[in-house]
């Protein structure tokens, strides 16, 4: 397909406000794309490379302005381009206002006419364009992306200049937008999916599945056209090509249990998402980020983990967590110091090390597992990881999940109290809290669906008086913990719950210093406290309950802060609790 035809169709789509009409235009575009259907499907979305491919053109706006200026003629500078852009606001409009091909005109005058890069020649001078094909554009942009090292800037500008020099105004408009990732003609992923289904008469859900496993709109379009539904259904995950990550919504324990009866519960690790692709056949281990960027070189620990522990091709989904010397998790900011690092990785590793924890398995034993329920996928994950532990040939089933390195534990429960204690353990171990997952759910790449919920952040907080506490145990024996919370009821205070979660050791030490002077009585580990200190606490829900003297109980209370500015007399009252419960 000529690039001029593509630009012309892109212009029609750009001017079309109605979504359905846009789908119809993209359908026609794909139907007419011939051999270049893969490229056209990508270009329409403003992509030069498939979605799974993290290659970038690696060309900044200023290099693009330079190329435009050169193609526009000797009397135009990059500054002029930038100034026009400031006036017009959009690079496509700027490029479309120049008359390209001036360099060829100049060449013709001096007897040259073309240059040997093929860039300035042909029939496309003086802004007429017309001979450039989408394939030439794609190939030139691939060469441009591949240019690296010294001289690469000039090479990139030369290649781009060559393309602009052969463009008409409309071609230049869409070339500039494509190069700067500003295509924006209203063609999203859903549009291309619907257009493929309509153009080649295949069901949308089958196109959707093929897109999920391949992350390649171009290939799916071609296979839908050439091989129909059977071809689409035969598409599989490829070890080495990233899959979009399944995402979570915020949600409460109560909602999760109501919907699923039994919830899968996991710790929510405070790190960065990683997808591990391991294939001993080609000796390749690749690690991808949540955005499908290749981060392998930045995370040698993950590669070593795979080399030491895995045996057959797998795709695992998990989180990489920064750890201190004892293996305890460090805050998220520490992972960031490692995650996309390109230089001095060994040095950075000395400062902060990371470890992977996997919670899902998308492919193992030659089988794609996306359609399997979470529990099956987790069992497969366990068996992939247990092999490494089980070198002695002992009974793999008897090995405790906790002893399997790299395995995130999955509890299945319908008991809110058990979930509360898993949440408390997660926080105590220095993690972010919990994830709730529907045990029956399949893996939906790229979806922020309702089958994965991260426990909702507390929206409301309460200011409660601390009226009691317990001495801790073991390492925490010298700290007060598990604080009893009360609210005002007229002149009195009535209990409403206990908070033990959300508090670091450092904070516990501070709270002990603050509360110890207010101890009125002690029995065993329990202490009564004179009402003096006010805590701000978050919670998930207020329930009517006989457990506490107020008649209410806070579900999942979490410590937020001490309120030194508040006296017990300014703490929240039972009336506020009643009002909040009614909301
Ligand atoms: N056990 C787990 N299961 C799934 N995701 C987990 C788990 N532990 C940690 N995570 C992280 O939590 C994220 C899930 O939340 P969400 O899908 O909303 O991603 P997010 O937008 O990056 O949110 P957040 O900033 O809360 O991590 C995952 O992307 C993953 O990085």
Token pair, residue 316, equals: 């695992």
Give me the sign of the Cα torsion angle 220, 226, 232, 237: negative
- Distance CA(294)–CA(291), nearest Å, equals 9
pLDDT over 50 (residue 234): yes
Tell me which residue has its CA closest to atom 8 in ligand 1: 268
Task: Give the distance (Å) from ligand 1 centre to CA of residue 329.
Answer: 16
| Superfamily of structural domain 47-179 | DNA ligase, ATP-dependent, N-terminal domain (1.10.3260.10)
Asked if 434 and 422 count as a contact pair (C-beta separation under 8 A), the reply is: yes
Report the alpha-carbon distance of residue 509 to residue 502 in Å, rounded: 14
* C-alpha to C-alpha distance for 240 and 288, rounded to whole angstroms: 9
> Which residues are bridge partners to 367 per DSSP?
364
Predicted pLDDT of residue 29? 98
User: What's the rounded Cα separation, in Å, for the pair 97 and 108?
Assistant: 23
Q: Does the CB atom of residue 266 touch ligand 1 within 6 A?
A: yes
- List the alpha helices (DSSP H) in 369-478: 374-389, 416-428
Q: Give 540's DSSP letter.
A: S
Tell me the pLDDT band of 197, cut-offs 50, 70 and 90. very high
| Cα–ligand 1 centroid distance for 260 (angstroms) | 20
Q: How confident is the model at residue 121 (pLDDT cuts 50, 70, 90)?
A: very low
Would the CB of 248 count as within 6 Å of ligand 1? yes
- The pLDDT, as a whole number, for residue 500 is 84
For residue 407, the 8-state DSSP code is B
Q: Is the pLDDT of residue 117 over 80?
A: no
Taking the centre of ligand 1 as the mean of its atom positions, its distance from the CA of residue 327, in whole angstroms, is 21
- CATH code: domain 247-443 is 3.30.470.30
Q: Is the CB of 484 under 6 A from ligand 1?
A: no
Mean pLDDT, range 16-25, rounded to an integer = 96
Tokens matching residue 466: 């601390």
Give the pLDDT confidence of 292-333 residue by residue, as tens digits: 999 999 999 999 999 999 989 999 999 999 999 888 899 888
Q: State which of 246, 248, 430 you would mutate to test the pocket of ligand 1, scoring each by most atoms of that ligand within 8 A of its C-beta.
A: 248
* Ligand 1 center–CA 268 separation, angstroms: 7
Position 283 confidence tier, pLDDT thresholds 50, 70, 90: confident
Does the pLDDT value for residue 17 go beyond 80?
A: yes
Which residue from 265, 435, 438, 448 has its CB within 8 A of the most atoms of ligand 1, so it is best to mutate? 435
HEC readout, 81-137 = HHHHHHHHCCHHHHHHHCCCCHHHHHHHHCCCCCCCCCCCCCCCCCCCCCCCEHHHH
Please give the average per-residue pLDDT across 155-179, as a whole number.
Answer: 96
Distance 73 CA to ligand 1 centre (A): 51
CB of residue 26 inside a 6 A radius of ligand 1: no
**What pLDDT does residue 74 have?**
81
Confidence of residue 541 (pLDDT cuts 50, 70, 90): confident
Q: Cβ contacts of residue 583 below 8 Å, gap of 6+?
A: none
Instruction: Give residue 454 CA to ligand 1 midpoint distance, Å.
Output: 7
Q: Which atom of ligand 1 is nearest to 408's Cα?
A: 1
In angstroms, how far is CA 468 from the centroid of its own chain? Answer: 43
| Residue 290 annotated as binding site | yes
273 labeled part of a ligand binding site: yes
247 lines ligand 1 (CB under 6 A): yes
Q: Token match 């302005």: residue? A: 65
Picking from 467, 437, 469, the residue whose alpha carbon sits closest to that of residue 454 is 437
pLDDT (tens digit, 9 = 90+) per residue, 57-113?
999 999 999 999 999 988 899 999 999 999 999 999 999 999 887 554 443 333 333
Residue 129 has pLDDT above 80, yes or no: no
Sorted by where each begins, the domain ranges of the chain are: 47-179, 247-443, 461-582
- Whose CA is closest to atom 30 on ligand 1? 273
437 labelled as ligand-binding?
Answer: no
Please tell me whether 428 is known to bind a ligand.
no
**What number does the ligand 1 atom closest to the CA of 250 have?**
18
**Residue 30: is its pLDDT beyond 90?**
yes
The whole-number pLDDT of residue 128 equals 61
Distance 362 CA to ligand 1 centre (A): 17
- For residue 266, the ligand 1 atom closest to its alpha carbon is 1
**Which pLDDT does position 118 carry in this prediction?**
40
If pLDDT is split at 50, 70 and 90, which confidence band does 9 have? very high
Pick the residue with more confidence: 200 or 564? 200
Of 539, 469, 463, nearest to 511 (Cα)?
469
Cα separation, 148 vs 151, whole angstroms: 8
Identify the pLDDT of residue 249. Answer: 92
Half-sphere exposure of 396 (CA within 13 A, CB side): 14
Average pLDDT of the residues of the chain: 90
Task: Give the nearest ligand 1 atom to 290 CA.
Answer: 29
Question: Which of 245, 454, 456, 457 is the best mutation target for the ligand 1 pocket, counting ligand atoms within 8 Å of the beta carbon and taking the most?
Answer: 454
Report residue 125: phi and psi, to 5°. Answer: -75, 175
Residue of 500, 340, 536 lying closest to 426 (CA atoms): 500
User: Is the CB of 268 inside a 6 Å radius of any atom of ligand 1?
Assistant: yes
Query: Range with the lowest mean pLDDT among 168-172, 442-446, 459-463?
Result: 459-463
Query: How does pLDDT run across 37-55, given as a tens digit for each residue?
Result: 999 999 999 999 999 998 9
| Contact between 442 and 372 (Cβ < 8 Å) | yes
| pLDDT score recorded for residue 398 | 81
Cα dihedral sign, 376-381-386-387: positive
Q: Which atom of ligand 1 is nearest to the CA of 268?
A: 8
Q: Return the pLDDT at 377.
A: 98
Mean pLDDT across 123-151: 84
Q: Is 407 in the pocket of ligand 1 (CB under 6 A)?
A: no
Q: How far is the CA of 90 from the centre of ligand 1 (A)?
A: 36
Mean pLDDT lowest among 297-301, 330-334, 394-398, 511-515:
394-398
Instruction: Judge whether 167 and 122 are in contact, CB under 8 Å.
Output: no
If you search the block for the tokens 């995130």, which residue do you land on?
A: 408
The pLDDT value given to residue 279:
94
332 lines ligand 1 (CB under 6 A): no
Of all protein residues, whose CA lies closest to atom 15 belonging to ligand 1? 248
User: What is the rounded CA–CA span in Å between residue 166 and residue 172?
Assistant: 9
Annotated binding-site residue? 266: yes
Sign of the dihedral through C-alpha 290, 296, 300, 302 = positive
Is 268 among the residues known to form the active site?
yes
Burial 317-331 (b: 16+ CB within 10 A, else e): bbbbbbbeeeeebbe
Which residue of 242, 266, 273, 434 sits with most ligand 1 atoms within 8 Å of its CB, as the best mutation to test the pocket? 273
Q: Is the CB of residue 300 less than 8 Å from the CB of residue 342?
A: no
Measured CA distances, 269 to 156, 179, 425, 427 (Å):
42, 37, 12, 10
Whether ipTM > 0.90 holds is yes
Task: Find out whether 270 and 432 touch, Cβ atoms under 8 Å.
Answer: yes
3-state secondary structure of 2: strand
* Active-site position among 156, 268, 437, 498: 268
317 lines ligand 1 (CB under 6 A): no
CA of 453 to the centre of ligand 1 (A): 9
Query: If pLDDT is split at 50, 70 and 90, which confidence band does 394 have?
Result: low
User: What kind of fold does domain 461-582 have according to CATH?
Assistant: OB fold (Dihydrolipoamide Acetyltransferase, E2P) (2.40.50)
pLDDT band at 433 (very low <50, low <70, confident <90, very high): confident
């Amino acid at each position: 397909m000529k690039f001029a035809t593509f630009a012309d169709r892109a212009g029609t789509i750009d001017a079309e406000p109605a979504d359905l009409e846009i789908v119809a235009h993209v359908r026609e575009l794909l139907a007419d794309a011939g051999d270049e259907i893969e490229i056209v499907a990508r270009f329409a979305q403003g992509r030069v490379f498939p979605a799974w491919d993290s290659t970038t053109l690696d060309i900044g706006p200023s290099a693009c302005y330079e190329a435009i200026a050169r193609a526009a003629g000797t009397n135009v500078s990059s500054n002029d381009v930038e100034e026009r852009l400031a006036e017009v606001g959009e690079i496509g409009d700027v490029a479309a206002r120049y008359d390209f091909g001036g360099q060829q005109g100049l060449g013709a005058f001096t007897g040259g006419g073309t240059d040997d890069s093929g860039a300035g020649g042909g029939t496309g001078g003086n802004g007429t364009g017309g001979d450039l094909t989408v394939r030439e554009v794609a190939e030139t942009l691939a060469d441009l992306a591949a240019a690296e090292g010294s001289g690469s800037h000039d090479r990139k500008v030369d290649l781009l200049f060559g393309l602009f020099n052969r463009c008409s105004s409309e071609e230049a408009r869409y070339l500039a937008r494509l190069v700067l990732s500003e295509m924006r003609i209203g063609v999203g992923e859903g549009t291309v999916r619907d257009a493929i289904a309509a153009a080649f008469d295949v069901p949308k859900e089958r196109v959707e599945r093929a897109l999920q496993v391949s992350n390649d709109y171009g290939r799916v379009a071609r296979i839908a056209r050439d091989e129909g539904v059977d071809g689409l259904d035969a598409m599989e995950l490829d070890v080495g090509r990233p899959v979009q990550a399944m995402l979570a919504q915020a949600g409460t324990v109560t909602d999760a249990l109501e919907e699923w009866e039994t919830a899968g519960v996991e710790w929510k690790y405070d790190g960065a998402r990683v997808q591990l692709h391991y294939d001993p056949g080609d000796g390749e281990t690749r690690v991808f980020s949540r955005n499908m960027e290749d981060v392998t070189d930045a995370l040698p620990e993950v590669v070593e983990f795979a080399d030491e522990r895995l045996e057959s091709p797998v795709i695992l989904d998990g989180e990489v967590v920064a750890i201190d010397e004892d293996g305890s998790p460090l805050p998220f900011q520490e992972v960031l110091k490692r995650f996309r690092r390109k230089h001095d990785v060994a040095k950075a590793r000395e400062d902060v090390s990371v470890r992977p924890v996997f919670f899902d398995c998308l492919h193992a034993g030659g089988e794609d597992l996306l359609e399997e329920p979470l529990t099956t996928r987790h069992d497969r994950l366990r068996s992939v990881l247990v092999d490494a532990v089980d070198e002695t040939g002992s009974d793999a089933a008897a090995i405790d999940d906790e002893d399997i390195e790299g395995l995130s534990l999955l509890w299945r429960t319908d008991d809110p109290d058990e979930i509360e204690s898993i949440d408390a353990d997660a926080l105590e171990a220095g993690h972010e809290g919990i994830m709730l997952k529907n045990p029956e759910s399949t893996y939906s790449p790229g979806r922020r669906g309702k089958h994965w919920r991260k426990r909702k952040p507390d929206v409301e907080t309460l200011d409660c008086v601390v009226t009691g506490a317990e001495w801790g145990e073991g390492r925490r024996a010298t700290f007060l913990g598990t604080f009893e919370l009360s609210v005002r009821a007229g002149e009195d205070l009535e209990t409403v719950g206990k908070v033990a979660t959300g508090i670091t050791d450092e904070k516990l030490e501070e709270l002990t210093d603050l509360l110890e002077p207010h101890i009125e009585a002690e029995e065993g580990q329990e202490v009564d406290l004179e009402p003096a200190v006010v805590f701000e606490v978050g919670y998930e829900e207020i329930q009517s309950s006989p457990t506490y003297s107020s008649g209410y109980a806070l579900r999942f209370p979490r410590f937020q802060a001490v309120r030194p500015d508040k006296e017990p007399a300014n703490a929240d009252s039972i009336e506020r609790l009643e009002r909040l419960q009614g909301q």
